[in-house]
Amino acid sequence: MSKISQRSVTLLQRVDTATGNLLTKYSELIDLASTSGGKDQGTVASETLQIETNATTIVRSIEDLLFVTRSLKEAWILGRVRPAPAIGAAFDELDDVIECEETKDLEPMLDQEDNLTDSLKPVSLSKREKADLLLDEILSGS
């Protein structure tokens, strides 16, 4: 077994173990939290200890899952994780779909921009009109 697949198996086993612990300990917490009356002090103390132990186990399981995600992020950033060819093709296809959708959203804006630039195109003026505009600007500036 290669080093990469061995690491994958190890991470998957850690995820399975942690999620299994989470489920069992959480269900035990729910069972212990029942408030049926008439419990003596010894039973209450015992259940309190079990609840604290289960809560500690849940926290450890969550920390283990966080370690797995941190390891995956680190491997991804450092380039040690490469998607399978089928997954890579799926990502490429998804990028194409997203790009197509973005282009569809931009088309009305691009049309609007074309209309604005059309309205801003210089109007051809005669020499006389240009001279009048220039004279007006000079006179208004002084």
pLDDT value of residue 31: 86
Task: For residue range 13-63, list pLDDT tens digits in order.
Answer: 999 999 999 999 999 998 888 777 778 888 888 988 999 999 999 999 999
pLDDT value of residue 16: 93
Helix runs in 1-142, H state only: 3-32, 41-77, 85-119, 127-141
| Alpha-carbon gap, residue 53 to 58, rounded angstroms | 9
pLDDT value of residue 23: 94
Angle ∠(39,41,42) on CA atoms, nearest 5: 100
pLDDT value of residue 54: 93
pLDDT value of residue 108: 63
Please report where in the chains the tokens 């490429």 appear, as a residue.
Answer: 92
**pTM across the whole model:** 0.52
